[in-house]
Amino acid sequence: MRRFVRPVGITEAERAGKTITQCLSDLQLDLEAVGSYIARTSPTVIYKRFIEVAEAALYEKELRDEQEELS
């Protein structure tokens, strides 16, 4: 019998973030086509959640950049 063990300390959100990061790291991926697909096929709530993820990433990046400037 095979058991799947999650590493301790990795949340579902972190795992999803890692998956998204791995997908976006493919430089041959057509981001416009991905965005078009999401807009056309996903319910509005999914699209809005996608925007929320992007805004949260932008906020964290700006916060980290600001902290680096202060130190």
Domains in the chain, number: 1
Is 28 a member of any domain?
yes
Reading phi first (left if > 0) and then psi (alpha if -120 to 50, else beta), residue 6 is in: beta
The domain of 47 spans 14-70
Is 63 a member of any domain?
yes
Quote the pLDDT of residue 6.
Answer: 62
The two three-digit tokens of residue 25, written as one number: 């790291």
Is 1 a member of any domain?
no
Q: What is the mean pLDDT of residues 26-31?
A: 96
Quote the pLDDT of residue 71.
Answer: 83
Q: Tell me the whole-structure pTM to 2 decimals.
A: 0.74
Residue 3 phi, psi (nearest 5)? -115, 140
Is the four-CA dihedral 55, 8, 15, 17 of positive or negative sign? positive
Quote the pLDDT of residue 29.
Answer: 96
pLDDT in tens, 4-28: 666 678 899 999 999 999 999 999 9
Distance of alpha carbon 28 from alpha carbon 11, whole angstroms: 29
Is 6 a member of any domain?
no
Q: pLDDT above 70 covers what percent of the chain?
A: 90
Is 7 a member of any domain?
no
